[in-house]
Every structure is written in C-alpha cells, then in structure tokens.
Amino acid sequence: MAKVKYRYNESTLSYEKVELNGWQKLLRVLWFFTAATICGMGIYVVFNVIYDSPEERQLRADKEDLMIQYQLMNRKLDQMSTILADLENRDDNIYRTVFEAEPIPDNIRKSGIGGVNRYKNLERFRNESGTVIETARRLDMLAKQLYIQSKSFDEVMELAKKKEDLLASIPAIQPVSNSDLKRMSSGFGFRIHPIHKIRQFHWGMDFTAQTGTEIYSTGKGKVVFASNSHNGYGNHVIVDHGYGYQTLYAHMSEVKVKKGQEIKRGEVLGLVGNTGLSSAPHLHYEVIKDGNKVNPVNYYFNDLSPEEYDLMIQLASQENQSFD
C-alpha cells in the first residue's frame, strides 16, 4: 500500500494531502526504472567478472585441452624430427657412401617453405597464433624433409640395383695371371725411360711375361679402341667400363678384340708382346678414372692375397727402369 504524504498549509493552518500530477508521476516511474536498470546491470557485470557462465567454463576447459594436445603434438614432432635426422645421417654417411653417391647438401634438406605469408590465415587466433603457426610450420618442414628423404631412398634403391653391375665393371684383377708373370718391372711413378734414358713419369704398371702370354680384361666393359701400331703404345686396347673407369693394355703382340665389342672380366683381349716404344716383352697397363690416370696397384683386390698384395706394393714402388 502506497504511503500518503501531507504538507502544512500556512494559509489555512492545516495539513493537506499531497497530490501528484501526471507529469510528476511519470518522472517518478522513470526514475524507479532507471535506478532498477542501473542496479541490475551492476549486479550482472559483477557476477560476470567474478563467476564464469557455463558456456565460458566449457570454452576455458576446451582451450586448456587444446593446449595440452598442442604440447603432445609438438613432442611427437620432436621425436619424428630426431628419427628423421638419424635417417638423413645414415643416408648421407652410410648408404650413399656405400654406393659412391654424393650426400644431399644441408641447404636442400633444410630449405624453407615458399610463400610471402603462408600462415596469414592463422594469425586470427590471437594469443594462440604463435603456437598454431609454429606447429603448422614444423609440420610443413617435416613433410618436405620426408619427401626429400623418400626421393633419396628411391635413388639409393636404383644405385643398389646397379651395384652388382658396378662391381663387375670396376677393374679389379691383374691383367696377367700370376702364374705367367716373370716379374714386376715397373710401377706407377717416376722411372728411367728405357729408350730415351731420361727420368719421367710412368703412368701405369709393367708386367713382364713371355711373348704370347694371354692378357685379360680386368672388368666388364666395351672396347672403345683396338689398334695395331708400331709407335708409342704399339698394338693396344682401351676398354670403357662405365662409371668413369677405363683401362689401357699396351705393347701387345696380337689384338684379339674389335672396337665396339662387349666383354666380361677375365676375357682375353690380346697377347703380351714388344710392339711400339718397348725394350722387352711386357704388358703396360693403365687405369683411368674420370679422365685421370691413377695408380693401378689400388685395383687388384679381387684375386690377390694380402701377402701377394703387399709384395706387389713393394715391387711397384721401386724406382727402377721401365720397359716403355
């Protein structure tokens, strides 16, 4: 029940009932609703600052769970990166070394991902954008490294398939059988020329044997030169073994193969002789790798025992007179 208010009228010396007009009643109602609204908003704000709504509590729990998932994901990425680094190390230092292939440069393995701002669409995640962008970047980098490693293993597989052919092609035996040898007259290095009598570099090894002794191809390959001549190397043969290897057999008494002929290791190329610039029957033998003449003594690993190999090293290192 509303309270009735009175005021004292000095003219009539009596109390009169206070009557509000319509405008005053409207102002009073508006003031009441304004005060009530302000109080209600204040209470709402206070409760929202101090207490979370059910939706907010659920969102906060989801966010915490998401951050835990990101942490677990990054730990797994660390483990995968460690495993991949080990595979890359084995690939470069074991697998590719075995098959005589160059390792993949780090600037290729570790190169960045293209794009002006590849992760711009992730920046809307505000405070979490650093975590999201970093995880996305790591995933992209790992995917690229895995792709490069996969292509490398494809290459290694091809090299493995060719390894048998490579081993059959490398010059790996003596061109003259031990049973036919008289002695090793000259090795790779500086020697006295038997005809010019000057000290000059001898680019191969001389095997002394009787005229007519068989000369064998030291590896599988193709005859690229077969000449009958009385100058220089005399009657000689050059075999291309592939993989950067060639061998030369000089001073033959007779050539048994033709240019373009495919041959196998151990196949007879010709006979020992004394043609060209030669002072006695022997075979002058050279090994060429990638266009450079190298010491043949390093290529007899297929048919010599350790003792025989040591003896050959001693004989080939003596600075004596060559036969050509």
Residues 126, 127, 128, 131, CA torsion sign:
positive
In tens, the pLDDT along 144-157 reads: 888 888 888 878 78
Same domain, residue pair 109 and 194: no
Q: How large a percentage of the chain has pLDDT more than 70?
A: 73
Give me the pLDDT at residue 74, please: 82
CATH classification of the domain holding 296: 2.70.70.10
Indicate whether 292 belongs to any domain.
yes
Single out the residue of 165, 155, 170, 157 nearest to residue 289, CA to CA: 170
Asked whether the predicted pLDDT for residue 319 surpasses 60, the reply is no
Asked whether the predicted pLDDT for residue 162 surpasses 90, the reply is no
Give me the pLDDT at residue 234, please: 92
SS3 127: helix
Same domain, residue pair 107 and 194: no
Report which listed range, 103-107, 124-128, 191-195, 208-212, is most confident. Answer: 208-212
Q: What is the largest CA-CA distance in the chain?
A: 165
Indicate whether 78 belongs to any domain.
yes
Single out the residue of 75, 140, 81 nearest to residue 114, CA to CA: 140
Is the separation of the CB atoms in 268 and 211 below 8 Å?
no
Alpha helices in the chain (DSSP H): 22-50, 54-90, 96-98, 106-109, 129-169, 306-317
Q: What CA–CA distance (Å, rounded) separates 277 from 319? A: 19
Q: Which residues pair with 191 in a beta bridge?
A: 200
Same domain, residue pair 233 and 295: yes
Angle value at C-alpha 284, between 175 and 205, nearest 5 degrees: 80
DSSP, res 102: P
Give me the pLDDT at residue 99, please: 67
In a 10 Å sphere around its CB, with 0-12 CB exposed, 13-18 middle and 19+ buried, how is residue 81 labelled?
A: middle
Indicate whether 324 belongs to any domain.
no
Structural domain count of the chain = 3
Same domain, residue pair 151 and 198: no
Give me the pLDDT at residue 307, please: 62
Give me the pLDDT at residue 263, please: 96
Is the separation of the CB atoms in 235 and 253 below 8 Å?
yes
Indicate whether 254 belongs to any domain.
yes
113 band by pLDDT with thresholds 50, 70 and 90 = low
Q: Which domain holds residue 258?
A: 178-317
Residues 210, 211, 212, 215, CA torsion sign:
positive
SS3 47: helix
Same domain, residue pair 142 and 27: no
Q: What CA–CA distance (Å, rounded) separates 205 from 159? A: 31
Same domain, residue pair 104 and 148: yes
Q: What CA–CA distance (Å, rounded) separates 131 from 182? A: 78
Indicate whether 322 belongs to any domain.
no
Indicate whether 1 belongs to any domain.
no
Domain stop point among 142, 169, 196? 169
Asked whether the predicted pLDDT for residue 316 surpasses 60, the reply is no
Domain stop point among 136, 169, 202? 169
315 band by pLDDT with thresholds 50, 70 and 90 = low
81 band by pLDDT with thresholds 50, 70 and 90 = confident
288 band by pLDDT with thresholds 50, 70 and 90 = very high
Whether the model pTM is above 0.85: no
140 band by pLDDT with thresholds 50, 70 and 90 = confident
Asked whether the predicted pLDDT for residue 266 surpasses 90, the reply is yes
Indicate whether 285 belongs to any domain.
yes
In tens, the pLDDT along 18-61 reads: 776 777 777 877 888 888 888 878 777 776 666 667 777 777 77
CA distances from 254 to 32, 208, 249 (A): 128, 16, 11
